[in-house]
Amino acid sequence: MELTSGITARRSALADGRELIYYDDADTTLGPERALDLRDLPERPPTASMRQDVLTGDWISVAASRQNRAFLPPAEADPLSPQTPTNPSEIPSLYDVAVFENRSPSFGPLLVDAAAPEGLADLGRIGFDRTRTSVGRCEVVCFSPEHEGSFGSLSESRARTVIEAWAHRTDELTRMPGIEQVFPFENRGQDIGVTLHHPHGQIYAYPYITPRTTRLLASIDEVGPDLFARILDNELASGRVLLQGEHWTAFVPFAARWPVEVHMLPHRHVPDFAETTTAERDELSRLYLRLLRGIDALYPTPTPYIAAWHQAPVNSHRDEVRLMLQITSPRRAESKLKYLAGSEAAMGAWIGDIAPETAADMIREALERV
């Protein structure tokens, strides 16, 4: 796909062959040249393996190499900052936004499982002791060269660059063999389990349709192919709308599970970022920033959250599953977190701590302060 709004992509590679792409802001102050990665890196770990849970049919990727990833390093050892003589980080040059293949991915780097010539068609079958190679791809999206921050701390120009990178990567990842679903997301805060302070997100390209989306497809079969249009109409008529633009609406959903839970939908049907228009991305960069800053304004300290961009499967249900943001936070009070204990974690039977209408009022009040 062609990049829009004056944003530029510059391709490079890391010393072990992993792909690296620099995305320059429309108003960048950087020149076109980028340094080479001259580190002496070991070979990439082998692609992980998946095991099927015969109780549910879910596939569990066992990626032991992830145990060695960095854990809350100081600024001088930040692996996502630009390289310096004393910090041999993952990114050789100063950048605006950078995307690269994860060194220890949960899926990939193999895209094709040579031991399974039948491909991925049999993943839906359930049986004992079933294993497969965790083919796919995992990428890191660095929002800024700064050591600390989050998407909400970006400038509008930088937010627009990240959104363009999401669209560009979604387009390219969906064209790779064996990819069934592409998932951009941001984990923010130590209470979520973040291991790096650096403002960044990730993109997972899965070799299967995820369990959450599989459940969604069952709902579409039950309710109808216009499910998302009807959700949007229903929420627009509720008292839970938080922000509304020409192209997007954000709201607290009718049956929110988490103390802070916000969904956002585009007004027209688009299956993923790659099919959004320039105007939709432009507006999103403004609305999304305001939404995240409002969520941060709920309490005196930053709000931990997962920002999950749900996209349609690559090869099916493109006319039924709509691109959707779901932000969730376990923070139920200034100094209290919701922990998934017996009912939620063991049985999947959720109990809400805050009425969605009350949560909507709280977030709207916070939005007025930003």
CA distance between the termini of the chain: 35
Is 219 exposed, middle or buried (CB count within 10 Å of its CB: 0-12, 13-18, 19+)? Answer: exposed
User: What pLDDT, on a 0 to 100 scale, did the predictor assign at position 117?
Assistant: 61
**Residues 191 and 263 placed together within one structural domain of the fold:** no
Alpha helices by DSSP H, 76-177: 156-174
Choose among 76, 202, 94, 70: nearest CA to 145: 94
**Residues 341 and 294 placed together within one structural domain of the fold:** yes
**Residues 163 and 224 placed together within one structural domain of the fold:** no
Number of C-beta neighbours around residue 345 at 10 A:
10
Could you give the CA distance from residue 38 to residue 45 in angstroms, rounded to a whole number? 19
User: What pLDDT, on a 0 to 100 scale, did the predictor assign at position 274?
Assistant: 98
- Which residue type, as a one-letter code, is found at position 328? T
> Considering its fold, how many domains does the chain have in total?
2
Last residue of a domain, one of 203, 235, 261: 203
User: What pLDDT, on a 0 to 100 scale, did the predictor assign at position 119?
Assistant: 65
**Residues 135 and 104 placed together within one structural domain of the fold:** yes
> For the chain, what is the largest distance between any 2 Cα atoms, rounded to a whole number of angstroms?
59
Q: Please tell me the pTM assigned to this model.
A: 0.97
Half-sphere exposure of 368 (CA within 13 A, CB side): 5
- For the annotated catalytic residues, the residue numbers are 200
**Residues 199 and 234 placed together within one structural domain of the fold:** no
∠ Cα 277 240 264 (to 5°): 25
In a domain, 193, yes or no: yes
**Residues 65 and 199 placed together within one structural domain of the fold:** yes
**Residues 119 and 223 placed together within one structural domain of the fold:** no
**Residues 271 and 197 placed together within one structural domain of the fold:** no
User: What pLDDT, on a 0 to 100 scale, did the predictor assign at position 221?
Assistant: 98
User: What pLDDT, on a 0 to 100 scale, did the predictor assign at position 341?
Assistant: 86
Domain span at 26 = 8-203
98-124: pLDDT as tens digits: 999 999 999 999 999 877 766 677 888
CB 52, CB 126: distance < 8 Å: yes
176: domain CATH number?
3.30.428.10
**Residues 231 and 190 placed together within one structural domain of the fold:** no
**Residues 133 and 270 placed together within one structural domain of the fold:** no
Q: For the chain, what percent of residues have pLDDT higher than 90?
A: 92
Q: Which residues of the chain register pLDDT less than 50?
A: none
User: What pLDDT, on a 0 to 100 scale, did the predictor assign at position 114?
Assistant: 79
In a domain, 235, yes or no: yes
In a domain, 208, yes or no: no
